[in-house]
Structure 1
Amino acid sequence: MKTYSKIILFTILCCVSFTTSSKAQDKDLKAEIAALRAYNESLNHQLDKLFKKIDDITWFERVGDIAYVDKVYMYGPPKWKEENPNALGAGNPVKFWSYIFIPKDLDTSKKYPLIVFPHGGVHGDFTTYYTHIIRELVSQNYVVVAAEYRGSTGYGEGHYKKIDYGGLEIEDVFASKEYMLENYDFLDTNRVGIIGWSHGGLLTLMNIFNHPDDYKVAYAGVPVSDLVSRMGYMDQDYRDLYEADHHIGASAQDNLQEYRRRSPAWNTHKMGNTPLMITTNTIDDDVNVLEVEHLIKSLKADNKKFDYKVYEAVPGGHSFDRMDTKKAKEIRLKMYKFLTKYLRPEKPIKSLKELHKAGYKY
Structure 2
Amino acid sequence: MATYPSWSKDSQSLIFSANLSQDYEHQPLESDLYQIEIGSGAITPLTQREGPQHSPLVSPDGNYIAYLGYEGKQYRLVTKLYVMKRDGSQSRVLTGDLDRSVSQLQWSAGSQGLFFLYADQGNTQLGYQSLQGEHNIITQDIGSSLLAYPSGAYNVSKNGRFVVTHSRPDRIGELMTGSLKDKNKGKKNKKLLVSVNADIFDHRTLGKVEEMRYNSTVDSLGIQSWIIKPPNFDPKKKYPLIVNIHGGPMSHFGEHFSLMMQVMAAQGYVVLYTNPRGSTSYGENFGEIIHKHAFPGKDFHDIESGVDTLLERGYIDKNNLFVTGISYGATMTCWIIGNTDRYRAAVPLAPVTNWYSATLTTEAPVQYKQLFGDSFPWEDHDNYFKRSPLSLVGKVKTPTLLITGDDDYRNPISESEAYFTALKLRKVDAAVIRLPDEDHTFYRRPSNTYRAIASMMSWFEQYRKGAAQ
TM score, norm. by length of structure 1: 0.71
Answer yes or no: is the 8 Å Cα contact 1:265–1:295 preserved in 2: yes
Tell me the CA shift for residue 59 of structure 1. 2.4
Contact in 2 for aligned 1:75/1:96 (Cα 8 Å):
yes
Matches within 5 A, 1:111-126: 111-126=238-253
Matched residue pairs, number? Answer: 296
Q: Residues 221, 46 of structure 1: CA spacing in aligned structure 2 closer, same or farther, 3 A cutoff? A: closer
Give the Cα separation in 1 of the matches to 2:377 and 2:79.
28
Among residues 58, 61, 67, which one is paired with 2:171 in the alignment? 61
Letter aligned with residue 199 of structure 1: Y
Of 223, 233, 252, 2:361 maps to 233
SS of 2:169's partner is helix
**Alpha-carbon shift at residue 250 of structure 1 (Å):** 4.5
Q: Deviations over 1:218-272 (max 9, x none)?
A: 11122121111122234454136414xxxx5744343221221111122211112
Alpha-carbon distance between aligned partners in 1 of 2:264 and 2:79, rounded to the nearest angstrom: 38
CA contact (8 A) 1:112 1:188 kept: yes
Distance 1:345 1:152, change over 3 A: farther
In structure 2, C-alpha distance between the alignment counterparts of 1:33 and 1:115, rounded to whole Å: 38
Sort the Cα spacing of 1:304 and 1:171 in 2 relative to 1 into closer, same or farther, 3 A: farther
CA–CA distance in structure 2, aligned partners of residues 129 and 308 of structure 1: 31
Q: Is the 8 A contact 1:231 1:239 kept in 2?
A: yes
Quote the residue 2:432 is aligned against. 309
Structure-2 separation of matches of 1:170 and 1:205:
11
1:149 aligns with 2:273: no
Taking a change above 3 Å as real, the CA distance of residues 242 and 256 of structure 1, as seen in their structure-2 partners, is: same
CA distance in 2, matches of 1:33, 1:265: 34
Distance 1:185 1:324, change over 3 A: farther
Matched residues in 2 for 1:338 and 1:325: separation?
20
CA contact (8 A) 1:113 1:345 kept: no
Give the Cα separation in 1 of the matches to 2:449 and 2:432: 14
Partner of 2:413: 289
Matched, 1:278 2:402: yes
- One of 201, 204, 217 as aligned partner of 2:345: 217
Opposite residue 242 of structure 2, the aligned amino acid is I
Structure 2 CA distance for partners of 1:323 and 1:174, relative to 1, 3 Å: farther
Matched, 1:342 2:459: no
Instruction: Look up the equivalent residue of 2:446 and give its one-letter code.
Output: T
Match of 1:105 among 232, 251, 256: 232
Cα shift at 1:205 = 1.3
How far off is 1:330 after superposition?
3.0
> How far apart, CA to CA, are the structure 2 residues paired with 1:211 and 1:145?
18
Note closer, same or farther for the CA distance 1:33–1:317 as it changes in structure 2 (3 Å cut): closer
Distance 2:330 2:263 in 1: 19
Tell which has more relative contact order, 1 or 2 (C-alpha 8 A, sep 6+).
Answer: 1
CA contact (8 A) 1:193 1:339 kept: yes
Moved more, 230-239 or 258-267: 230-239
Counterpart position of 1:194? 323
| Alpha-carbon distance change, 209 to 129 in structure 1, aligned in 2, over 3 angstroms | farther
Kindly provide the CA deviation profile for residues 5-36 of structure 1, in whole angstroms up to 9, marking residues without a partner as x.
xxxxxxxxxxxxxxxxxxxxxxxx979999x8
What letter matches 2:100 in structure 1?
A: H
CA contact (8 A) 2:339 2:392 kept: no
1:37 alignment partner, one of 62, 70, 79: 70
Match of 2:86 in 1: none
Q: Which has the higher helix share?
A: 1
1:45 shift after superposition: 2.2
> CA, structure 1 residues 258+304, in 2 after alignment: closer, same or farther (shift >3 Å)?
farther
Q: Aligned match of 1:325 in 446, 449, 459?
A: 446
The letter for the 1-side match of 2:246 is H
2:383 corresponds, among 250, 258, 273, to 258
In structure 2, the residue matched to 1:137 is 264
- Partners of 1:328 and 1:144 lie apart in 2 by 19
Equivalent residue in structure 1 for 2:285, among 158, 161, 186 = 158
Kept in 2: contact 1:141–1:345 (CA 8 A): no
Cα–Cα, structure 1 residues 32 and 206, in superposed 2: closer, same or farther, change >3 Å?
Answer: closer
Q: Give the structure with the higher percent strand.
A: 2
Structure 2: runs of 5+ lacking an equivalent: 1-47, 54-68, 72-77, 81-95, 103-117, 125-140, 149-166, 173-200
Return structure 1 stretches of 4+ with deviation > 4 angstroms. 29-34, 38-44, 62-65, 127-130, 248-251
Task: Name the SS for the 1:210 alignment partner.
Answer: coil
One-letter amino acid of the counterpart of residue 165, structure 1? F
Highest Rg: 1 or 2? 1
Give SS of 1:70's match: strand
What corresponds to 1:6 in structure 2? none
- Note closer, same or farther for the CA distance 1:33–1:180 as it changes in structure 2 (3 Å cut): closer
Amino acid at match of 1:227: W
Matched, 1:173 2:313: no
Report the 3-state secondary structure (helix = DSSP H, G, I; strand = E; otherwise coil) of the residue aligned with 1:93: coil
Rounded to whole Å, the distance in 2 between the matches of 1:159 and 1:128 is: 19
Cα shift at 1:327: 3.8
Matches of 2:256 and 2:439, distance apart in 1: 16
CA contact (8 A) 1:112 1:186 kept: yes
Judged with a 3 Å threshold, the aligned counterparts in structure 2 of structure 1 residues 254 and 75 are, in CA distance, closer, same or farther, namely farther
What does residue 119 of structure 2 align with? 49
Structure 1 partner of 2:106: none
State the alpha-carbon separation in 2 of the partners of residues 146 and 188 from structure 1: 17
Tell me how far 1:40 sits from its aligned partner: 4.7
Amino acid at match of 1:254: E
